[in-house]
A = this chain, B = another copy of it.
Amino acid sequence: MEGKIANLLDIAQWKLTPYQILVLGFAGLILGGAFLLMMPMASATGQRLSFIDAVFTATSAVCVTGLVVVDTGTYFSLFGQLVVVSLIQIGGLGIMAMSTLMAILIGKRINLRQRLVMQEALNQLSVAGVVRLMQYMIKATLLIEFIGGTILAIRWYQELGSKAFYFGYWHAVSAFCNAGFDLFGSVTGPFSSITNYVNDIVVNLVISLLFILGGIGFTVIADIWTNRRFSRFSLHTKVVLITTLILMIFGAIVFFLLEYDNPDTLANLSWQGKILGSYFQSMTPRTAGYNTLDIGKLTDATLFFIVLLMFIGASPSSTGGGIKTTTASVMGAAIWALIRGRNDAELFERRIPYSIIYKAFSVMLISAVLVIFITMMLSITEKQPFLKLLFEATSAFGTVGLSTGITPTLTTTGKLWLVLTMFAGRVGPVTLALALALKTRKGNLQYPEGKIIIG
Interface residue ranges, A against B (CB under 8 Å): 123-125, 217, 219, 234-236, 239, 258, 299-301, 303-305, 308, 316-317, 323-324, 326-327, 329-331, 334-335, 338-339, 341-344, 346-354, 356-366, 368, 372, 375-376, 379-380, 385-387, 389-390, 428-429, 432-433, 435-436, 438-443, 446-455
7 contacts between A and B (CB under 8 A): A235-B452, A300-B379, A304-B386, A342-B443, A346-B447, A350-B447, A387-B387
Chain B residues, Cβ within 8 Å of A123: 453, 455
Name the contact of A453 in the complex, choosing from B316, B364, B365, B438 (C-beta under 8 A): B316
Copies in the complex: 2
In the complex, besides A239-B452, A339-B435, 6 extra interface pairs with C-beta distance below 8 angstroms are: A124-B453, A300-B379, A316-B455, A327-B454, A343-B440, A347-B450
Given contacts A452-B330, A452-B356, are A341 and B441 in contact (CB under 8 A)?
Answer: yes
Distance between Cα atoms of A35 and B224 in the complex (Å): 62
Q: Which 7 A-B pairs have the closest CB atoms?
A: A350-B450, A341-B438, A361-B361, A386-B387, A363-B455, A316-B453, A235-B450
Distance between Cα atoms of A353 and B449 in the complex (Å): 6
Distance between Cα atoms of A365 and B219 in the complex (Å): 29
Shortest distance from the beta carbon of A207 to any chain B beta carbon, whole Å: 26
Residue of B nearest to A350 (CB): B450
Residue of B nearest to A316 (CB): B453
Residue of B nearest to A342 (CB): B443
Name the contact of A362 in the complex, choosing from B330, B334, B429 (C-beta under 8 A): B334
Given contacts A343-B442, A376-B304, are A236 and B451 in contact (CB under 8 A)?
Answer: yes
Distance between Cα atoms of A346 and B244 in the complex (Å): 36
B379 touches A299 (CB 8 A): yes
A453 touches B317 (CB 8 A): yes
B350 touches A448 (CB 8 A): yes
Residue of B nearest to A441 (CB): B341
Given contacts A435-B341, A441-B341, are A450 and B351 in contact (CB under 8 A)?
Answer: yes
Residue of B nearest to A388 (CB): B386
B454 touches A360 (CB 8 A): yes
Distance between Cα atoms of A380 and B368 in the complex (Å): 24
A301 touches B379 (CB 8 A): yes
